[in-house]
Amino acid sequence: MAPIDYDERIPNNVSLAADRRLLRALEDWQPKFLEWWHDMGPEGFQSKDVYLRTAVSVDPKGWAQFGYVKMPEYRWGIFLAEPEADRRINFGDHQGQPAWQDVPGEYRGTLRRLIVTQGDTEPASVEQQRHLGRTCPSLYDLRNLFQVNVEEGRHLWAMVYLLDAHFGRDGREESEALLQRRSGDHDKPRILGAFNEKTPDWLSFFMFCFFTDRDGKYQLASLAESGFDPLSRTCRFMLTEEAHHMFVGESGVGRIVQRACELMREHKTDDVRKHGGIDLPTMQKYINFHCSVSLDLFGSEVSTNAANFYTAGLKGRFEETKKTDDHRLKDGLYPVIGLDGDKIVARQEAALVSLNERLRDDYVADCQRGVNRWNEIIKSHGIDFTLTLPHRAFRRAIGTFAEVRVSPDGRVVSQAEWDARHRDWLPTEEDAAYVGSLMKPVTERGKMAGWIAPPARGVNSQAEDFEYVRLS
């Protein structure tokens, strides 16, 4: 496999120099990407040195090199995981055939759509987070935000590479369109709902990294099973970076929970707002919001699209190759929840059309593990409070439950009850205003905003007062 060549304009391990046509397409796209990054990337810090991690090779030891970089000079490149010798298609109608190195003509449109949908989320999240630098709780967090942002930028490069390398003129047009849609824009919004929501404060950012990036993990893991080998290898490498984003989310929320608990103990009160903390009931409302938005990203419970993606060998299940069934699922059943009047009931559905729900199940179990770790923090302070995930039918906009109102504990409720209670379940304007009022930048080395505890350890084992971003 080609090593990464950093002297090239576009670092890569795909022997780009040998493919003049592709190289030209990407070199043509690069200034447009940089223009987008200047216009829509992190606001106000573009000329600062940031202590960032850059991929220098794709093997487990070498993909993280730390050093100061100005974000527009970050070496966004194209890195695919190592090829697997004699890789086969592991599921669907083409099971057992050699994995495709080129796009099969019959699946061209479907594959392009999957890649565009995935690609669209990456710049969207950078757009959503662009103003957060101005209110960072610490230099450590500021640096983590920028790390996430540059890596989302690289994930966009990863999808654009696939489009330009494998989809000809259509692919190049889609690559351009990825830079033209805008998160939350009325006329040209991003494709998926969650990526048009606002990320107005750092609590929302940490929640987004925990819940929405975790959807990314599960979607990428399913695409990593793809019979289209370049997509599989691209996603496999992206997953190594995704793990850091979820770490930022889980540890960020955990540190806010910890600070709330410390304030509760210190002042012997549940009302930590008086002392500049974010109270646990407010944390619960933010969980309810971000979890429900992210659950929508898995699509409808019963989806023929998902069945077709699978049968065609384009998108597998989470850990497809570890499963021991026939990997075709033509006869299997899977329990899917649905509505029976005003009751939520489980039904057996054909396994093939239930794949979105199955992936959502894997996702919910993973989220629950993170929530359990937050609850451990609460318990360790001797406080009697449990954070929970909302029921998966709560506040849904996609799928069966989009038509009904459901409480966080999973009861179908009347519109009147929803109107009376939703302020207890979801962040209100007052909650958002309170959280917003805490968002004052803390940029002194080693200092931390009062609403969040310091991290357990520094990035790359750096000292507490390390200058993660050089602001002067």
Binding to ligand BYC by residue 122, rule CB under 6 A?
A: yes
Q: Which two tokens stand for residue 419?
A: 């109107």
Residues 180-239 that bind ligand BYC (CB under 6 A): 192-193, 212-213, 215-216, 219
Q: Which two tokens stand for residue 457?
A: 């350890």
Question: Which of 445, 444, 427 is CA-nearest to residue 436?
Answer: 427
Binding to ligand BYC by residue 308, rule CB under 6 A?
A: no
Please say which residue, 258 or 303, places its beta carbon nearer to ligand BYC: 303
Closest approach of ligand BYC to the CB of residue 178, in Å: 12
Binding to ligand BYC by residue 123, rule CB under 6 A?
A: no
**Residues 219, 228: contact at Cβ < 8 Å?**
no
Cα dist. 166→101, 109, 134, 230, 339 in Å? 9, 12, 40, 9, 42
Closest approach of ligand BYC to the CB of residue 117, in Å: 4
Binding to ligand BYC by residue 117, rule CB under 6 A?
A: yes
Give the residue, chosen from 229, 296, 349, 431, that forms a contact with ligand BYC under the rule CB under 6 A.
296
User: Cβ neighbours of residue 425 under 8 Å, at least 6 residues apart?
Assistant: 285, 288, 390, 394, 395, 407, 408
Binding to ligand BYC by residue 448, rule CB under 6 A?
A: no
Segment lying near ligand BYC (by CB under 6 A), choices 199-207, 267-275, 292-300, 425-433 = 292-300
Give the residue, chosen from 57, 240, 305, 375, that forms a contact with ligand BYC under the rule CB under 6 A.
305
Binding to ligand BYC by residue 298, rule CB under 6 A?
A: yes
Strand partners, 230: none
The dihedral formed by the CA atoms of 284, 298, 92 and 83, expressed in degrees to the nearest 10 = -80
Give the residue, chosen from 383, 398, 404, 413, that forms a contact with ligand BYC under the rule CB under 6 A.
398
Cα dist. 128→184, 242, 284, 354, 452 in Å? 8, 17, 22, 31, 22
Binding to ligand BYC by residue 374, rule CB under 6 A?
A: no
Please say which residue, 219 or 288, places its beta carbon nearer to ligand BYC: 219
Binding to ligand BYC by residue 114, rule CB under 6 A?
A: yes
Please say which residue, 121 or 292, places its beta carbon nearer to ligand BYC: 121
In degrees, to the nearest 5, what angle opens at C-alpha 250 toward C-alphas 245 and 252? 90
**Residues 123, 41: contact at Cβ < 8 Å?**
no
Please say which residue, 350 or 442, places its beta carbon nearer to ligand BYC: 350
Place of tokens 């940029």: 443
Segment lying near ligand BYC (by CB under 6 A), choices 112-120, 179-187, 262-270, 429-437 = 112-120
Its sign, for the CA torsion 131, 287, 238, 299, is negative
Question: Which of 440, 24, 393 is CA-nearest to residue 202?
Answer: 440
Say which DSSP state 331 is in. S
Position 376, amino acid: E
**Residues 244, 151: contact at Cβ < 8 Å?**
yes
Binding to ligand BYC by residue 152, rule CB under 6 A?
A: yes
Tell me how far apart the alpha carbons of residues 274 and 258 are, in angstroms, rounded to a whole number: 16
Position 323, amino acid: K
Please say which residue, 90 or 258, places its beta carbon nearer to ligand BYC: 90
Segment lying near ligand BYC (by CB under 6 A), choices 114-122, 156-164, 198-206, 284-292 = 114-122
Binding to ligand BYC by residue 357, rule CB under 6 A?
A: no
Binding letters toward ligand BYC, positions 58-97, x by CB under 6 A: ----------------------------------------
Binding to ligand BYC by residue 151, rule CB under 6 A?
A: no
Closest approach of ligand BYC to the CB of residue 232, in Å: 13
Please say which residue, 138 or 212, places its beta carbon nearer to ligand BYC: 212
Q: Taking the mean position of all CA atoms in its chain, how far away is CA 438?
A: 25
**How many residues bind to ligand BYC according to rule CB under 6 A?**
25
Position 280, amino acid: L
**Residues 117, 192: contact at Cβ < 8 Å?**
yes
Closest approach of ligand BYC to the CB of residue 468, in Å: 21
DSSP codes of every residue in 265-284? HHHT-S-GGGGT---HHHHH
Closest approach of ligand BYC to the CB of residue 403, in Å: 14
Closest approach of ligand BYC to the CB of residue 111, in Å: 10
Binding to ligand BYC by residue 127, rule CB under 6 A?
A: no
Place of tokens 């997509």: 231
Say which DSSP state 466 is in. -
Tell me how far apart the alpha carbons of residues 285 and 291 are, in angstroms, rounded to a whole number: 10
Binding to ligand BYC by residue 431, rule CB under 6 A?
A: no
Please say which residue, 146 or 451, places its beta carbon nearer to ligand BYC: 146
Q: Which two tokens stand for residue 236?
A: 């496999």
Binding to ligand BYC by residue 354, rule CB under 6 A?
A: no
Question: Which of 199, 239, 232 is CA-nearest to residue 216?
Answer: 239
Closest approach of ligand BYC to the CB of residue 472, in Å: 31
Interface contacts to ligand BYC, rule CB under 6 A: 114, 117-118, 121-122, 125, 152, 192-193, 212-213, 215-216, 219, 296-300, 303, 305-306, 315, 356, 398
